[in-house]
Structure 1
Amino acid sequence: MTEIFDLPTPAFLVDLDKLENNLRGMADLCRENKKQLWPMVKTHKSIEIAKMQADLGAKGFLVGTIDEAEKLVEHGFKEIMLAYPVASKENIERVITLAKKAHIILSFDTKEAASKVDKICEKEGLYLDYLIIIDSGLHRFGVIPEKAPELAKTLREFHHLKFKGIATHPGHVYAKTNSLEVKAVAEEEVNALRLASNLLEKEGFIVEIIATGSTPTAFYVAKDDKINVLRPGNYVFYDAIQVALGIVPEERCALTVIATIVSRPKDDLFIIDAGSKCFGLDKGAHGVFLTAGYGIVKGHPELTVESLSEEVGKIRISGNTNLKVGDKIEVIPNHACSSANMTSFLIGHRRGLIEKILPVDARGGSRIPILK
């Protein structure tokens, strides 16, 4: 069997033992706390990994793009939530096509987008379920909890759209720097959903779905008895940012990039053949730098991924190292979701021996649009 350090570089790897352990861990957390698991597909964009999640009990999937939804439905998955509103005629028509084959749950935070969807649903004779997006602190999509009943009442005029519940994404957790701050965000997340749900119920709305999702806060919110759907994504791989937040140790990170040292222009500097097109440029979301560089070099604390060009990276050497030009290093990216999106396949291995290829086959841009 081929070993990972025999591969040409750069190469995107996934440790299958760690991947499977991560998948089981979140599935067990949801099962033990009586939560439905609807993983966010944007992390891996892989039908094979989605099948692994389904085999472990995932009820459905949350998608960030219609491309992801189309690939999932194409492979027989029937329960799909859209994380974001759709508003263009072309994308609404794509969603309508999917809704004739699977149960598609939409998300809205304004009347305008809902109106556009409702008009096309009426023409097609379709009825679609939707969630109202709640802003729990990220201040991106969503209405504040107090405004949820007002929006729900407004959307009642659209007879081809059916209210199913509420959802939030506490993405501002990635602006935090430690586990205590993560826990505080989880409390905000729970409080926002509880308030919105209670206000909606007082107005006579039946809130069937109360959904949230982020990997860092999942371990806290899973214990809340009001929330019934968890939608984490990054837990599949974890990454250097999750390590910096104190969510998992480095040993839990399943996705890595292998690179070769191609130059040593100075005593304290290596150049590797992997750059921003492998690692991305994340150092932490929302203006907070959580990490010292652009990844963790496994087994070599003396090395820091200091800066990246598109195809090469600078590795700063602090102290002594036994590495030389021609040697290969394995790097845990800061943001696994971005790195996985840079490749068409992941090389699955166990203890360094390559076992199989996992296609990354639900990426944006992987489907050629039908031209009229």
Structure 2
Amino acid sequence: MDIKELTTPAFLVDLDVLEKNIEDMTDLCSRNNKKLWPMIKTHKSTQIALMQQTAGAEGFLVGTLDEAEKLVQEGFLNIMLAYPVAGEENVARAVNLAKKARVILSLDGIDAARVLNDAAKCHGQTLEYLIIIDSGLHRFGVLPEEAVELASNLSVLEYLKLVGIGTHPGHVYGSSSPEEVRKVAGEERQAMKRAKKNLEVAGYKVDIVATGSTPTATYVAEDENITVLRPGNFVFYDNIQMALGVVPESRCALTVLGTIVSHPREDTFIMDVGSKCLGLDKGAHGISMVKGYGMIKGHPELLITDLSEEVGKIKLLGKTKIKVGDKVRVIPNHACSAANMTDYLIGHRNGRIEKTIYIDMRGGSFRKPPGQ
């Protein structure tokens, strides 16, 4: 069956491109003697996780405990949590996971750490953790100069074991040029170098130096201080990555298939793809280079200017052959958000449908609701 025969909207993934993206990131890490722990939130699919593991990924970074639990349930046994865990219920979940797999936590303060330590003590379980370093995003983490003080404060918690440091340079998504991306990568490298040196001088062993963002991965891979890369978006890429100069259109694996349903004015078309497929994302950290709400493949003359929940408004910027009834493929601005809006992706090669890839880690979709 050809993808053009599908009802719309439909979420598509080009399998050739997906496999190429996974292969290239794995090769980048291999050439530079780095371990690859991809961020799972981009695809939330155990099928794609298996593809990554088979290609050479050692473990996975997760954004939620749901993702961690599903991975462990399916036999993936090397997990990092991207941010601190708090709350009695979630702490219990984290400790339980650590009994079944290697789970590396992330901490940036003493409060959450104390709760984790108490829970670990009750179960006789030692928990490994990374100190989160703020390399410029100013969200989680401590500055490189503050890492030793935090390590000292945490060292009194006998059921927690420091194994390294981690960061996410998410502010790279606010860059206005490829040159600025390189600048952020330099700051990322320097922050981790300083934090590692400070900790080692103070007598702490730093086995893991983990960082990751898709735009900066190429620039930090060669850094001798970095041991683990944790990018996520690279499996799909998207319109934001194109705007940052990371990849061309041909490397974007995820698209949403839609149909042109109306031509109400000479310069306006309407498609049956709206915000419930594409989201309203123009970059979570302020990117100014993205225009519109996604890019229509092969049609630079079409700009998606507005989205309602179920439909999208397209402005005509030049001559086009598009007409009502035609199908279009939209590259989302943010593939991570878009993929989270569907239960499955339709995998194809050269437009021929090959298989279904299930998004089986999103929103607790594999767990029973409370009370059931």
CA distance in 2, matches of 1:28, 1:288: 28
The answer to whether structure 1 residue 276 and structure 2 residue 275 are counterparts is: yes
Shift of residue 30, structure 1, vs aligned partner: 0.2
Alpha-carbon distance between aligned partners in 2 of 1:141 and 1:244, rounded to the nearest angstrom: 26
Tell me the equivalent position of 1:233: 232
> Can you give the 5+ residue segments of structure 2 that lack an aligned partner in the other structure?
none
Counterpart residue identity of residue 153, structure 1: S
* 1:296 aligned partner, one-letter code: M
1:37 aligns with 2:32: no
Structure-1 separation of matches of 2:297 and 2:48: 24
| Alpha carbons 1:211, 1:227 under 8 Å: kept | yes
Map residues 252-263 of structure 1 onto 2, 5 A cutoff: 252-263=251-262
Are 1:3 and 2:2 matched, yes or no? yes
Aligned-partner Cα distance in 1 for 2:285–2:241: 15
Percent identity, please.
62
C-alpha distance in 2 between matches for 1:266 and 1:303: 14
Whether the aligned pair in 1 keeps the contact of 2:170 and 2:285 (CA below 8 Å) is no
2:146 — aligned with what? 147
Structure 2 residue 55 is the aligned partner of structure 1 residue 56: yes
Alignment partners' CA distance in 1, 2:145 and 2:210: 17
Task: Count residues with an aligned counterpart.
Answer: 371
Query: C-alpha distance in 1, partners of 2:303/2:161?
Result: 51
1:370 to partner: Cα distance = 4.1
Task: State whether residues 65 and 364 of structure 1, in contact with CA within 8 Å, keep that contact through their aligned partners in structure 2.
Answer: no
TM-score normalised per structure 1:
0.98
Match in the other structure for 2:104: 105
Counterpart in 2 of 1:371? 371
Q: Would the aligned equivalents of 1:284 and 1:290 in 2 still touch at CA under 8 Å?
A: no
Alignment map for 1:288-307 (pairs within 5 Å): 288-307=287-306
Q: In structure 2, how many angstroms separate the alpha carbons of the residues matched to 1:348 and 1:288?
A: 30
Spell out the pairing of 1:126-145 with structure 2 (5 A cutoff): 126-145=125-144
In 1, the alpha carbon distance for the partners of 2:210 and 2:287 equals 27
Q: SS at the partner of 2:321?
A: coil
Distance 2:303 2:59 in 1: 39
**Aligned residue runs from structure 1 range 167-316, under 5 A:** 167-316=166-315
The one-letter amino acid of 1:368's match is K
CA drift at 1:369: 4.1
1:326: how far off? 1.1
The question of 1:21 aligning with 2:20 is answered yes
CA distance in 2, matches of 1:213, 1:24: 17
Q: Contact conserved, 2:2 with 2:351, CA < 8 A, in 1?
A: yes
8 Å CA contact 1:297–1:330 kept in 2: the answer is yes
Query: 1-side partners of 2:245 and 2:306: how far apart?
Result: 24
4+ runs of 1 displaced by more than 6 Å? Answer: none
CA contact (8 A) 1:126 1:160 kept: yes
Do the aligned partners of 1:12 and 1:347 also contact (CA within 8 Å) in 2?
A: yes
Pair 1:329 & 2:297 matched: no
* Structure 1 residue ranges without an equivalent (≥5): none
Query: Is residue 2:136 matched to residue 1:159?
Result: no
Rounded Cα–Cα distance in structure 2 between residues aligned with 1:161 and 1:369? 31
- TM-score by length of structure 2 reads 0.98
> What is the DSSP-based 3-state SS (H/G/I as helix, E as strand, rest coil) of the residue aligned with 2:79?
strand
RMSD across aligned C-alpha pairs, in angstroms?
0.9
CA drift of 1:273 comes to 0.7
After superposition, the C-alpha distances for 1:191-241 in whole angstroms (9 at most, x for unaligned) are 000000000001100000000000000000000011000000000000000
Amino acid at match of 2:368: I
